[in-house]
């Protein structure tokens, strides 16, 4: 029922984890997919992995904190494909240290990628989406954007900002048929979680009412729904996909 045929989708942080699964899922549902990563090597590796799966995607590695560079890459993509329909702002980093051990530079680094970069890519695609009479911007938030987190304060603070950006841009851009939503994942089995020892994983699972850690596919499917026309009247929401975890 969901078909992203003729849709051009850009996914930041698309080289691994949740982002790579969004790339796969959008591709499997017929979108033309362009992934962004932080480095040439990781972008090439992801493209190679996908090629082995029979998936042909394009990739770029712009500095997400350099607006001029982003504007140039977005123009290049629009010139190449004719339109940009979907932007998924997924790149993000987290933190765990206590406030006394967090420097102001650590705090700024998180805000730069998780919030400022999201502003840059969104600002750069909006003129093209307006010209195209619509589009979809989706952001990766986190369950910590609802409950906070007892460490690494920059991370939850950045994700609260992601929700603010999502809800505000949704209201600003709705008249232009541009929908803006976020997905707030719980604990998801990406590399970091998979490498945790059994003694850490088992108590963690006990805190999740649905009884398991989330798979990247659980999150990618939520993004797919929100990117599709099935969600045509949904904008400004932060969709919690966390098995009812309340950590
Ligand atoms: P990951 O570390 O596996 O992937 C992060 C992605 O971001 C990579 O593709 C990487 O290339 C990109 N990235 C990192 N630094 C970058 C930079 N400076 N410039 C450009 N790109 C950069 O992480 P993940 O777990 O897949 O997380 C993806 C998103 O999901 C993040 O926004 C994260 O906050 C969010 N999230 C993850 C979980 C979880 O349990 N894994 C839970 C809630 C929210």
Q: Find out whether the beta carbon of 162 lies less than 6 Å from any atom of ligand 1.
A: no
Q: Find out whether the beta carbon of 18 lies less than 6 Å from any atom of ligand 1.
A: yes
90 CA to centre of ligand 1 in angstroms: 6
Distance CA 20, CA 233 (A): 27
H/E stretch holding 7 reads none
In tens, the pLDDT along 205-239 reads: 999 999 999 999 999 999 999 999 999 999 999 99
Domains and CATH numbers, the chain: 8-241 (3.40.50.720)
Residue 217: half-sphere exposure toward Cβ, Cα within 13 Å: 1
Averaged pLDDT, 164-169: 98
Q: Whose CA is nearest to atom 32 of ligand 1?
A: 92
Confidence check: pLDDT of 200 > 90: no
Three-class SS state of 155: helix
Confidence check: pLDDT of 247 > 90: no
Instruction: Assess whether 61 carries a catalytic annotation.
Output: no
**Of these residues, 27, 60, 128, 155, which one is catalytic?**
155
In tens, the pLDDT along 93-106 reads: 999 899 999 999 99
Q: Find out whether the beta carbon of 113 lies less than 6 Å from any atom of ligand 1.
A: yes
Tell which atom from ligand 1 comes closest to the C-alpha of 17.
26
DSSP secondary structure of 205-229: HHT-TTSSPBPHHHHHHHHHHHHSG
Nearest-Å Rg of the Cα atoms of the chain is: 17
Averaged pLDDT, 6-17: 98
Q: Find out whether the beta carbon of 59 lies less than 6 Å from any atom of ligand 1.
A: no
Average pLDDT, the chain: 97
DSSP secondary structure of 158-187: HHHHHHHHHHHHHHHHGGGTEEEEEEEE-S
């Amino acid at each position: 029922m969901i078909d992203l045929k003729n849709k051009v989708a850009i996914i930041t942080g698309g080289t691994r984890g949740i982002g790579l699964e969004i790339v796969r899922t959008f591709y499997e549902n017929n979108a033309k997919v362009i992934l962004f990563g932080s480095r040439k090597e990781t972008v090439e590796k992801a493209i190679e992995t996908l090629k082995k799966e029979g998936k042909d995607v394009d990739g770029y590695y712009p500095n997400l904190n350099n607006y001029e560079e982003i504007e140039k890459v977005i123009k290049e993509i629009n010139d190449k494909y004719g339109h940009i329909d979907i932007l998924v702002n997924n790149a993000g980093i987290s933190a765990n240290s206590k406030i006394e051990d967090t420097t102001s530079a650590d705090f700024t680094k998180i805000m730069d990628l998780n919030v400022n970069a999201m502003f840059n890519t969104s600002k750069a695609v909006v003129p093209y989406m307006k010209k195209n009479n619509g589009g979809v911007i989706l952001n990766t938030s986190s369950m910590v954007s609802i409950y906070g987190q007892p460490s690494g304060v920059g991370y939850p603070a950045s994700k609260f900002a992601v929700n603010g950006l999502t809800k505000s841009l949704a209201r600003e851009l709705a008249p232009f048929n541009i929908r803006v939503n976020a997905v707030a994942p719980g604990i998801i089995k990406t590399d970091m979680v998979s490498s945790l020892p059994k003694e850490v994983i088992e108590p963690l699972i006990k805190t999740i009412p649905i009884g398991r850690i989330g798979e990247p596919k659980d999150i990618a499917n939520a993004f797919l729904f929100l990117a599709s026309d099935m969600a045509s009247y949904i904008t400004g929401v932060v969709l919690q996909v966390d098995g009812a975890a309340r950590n």
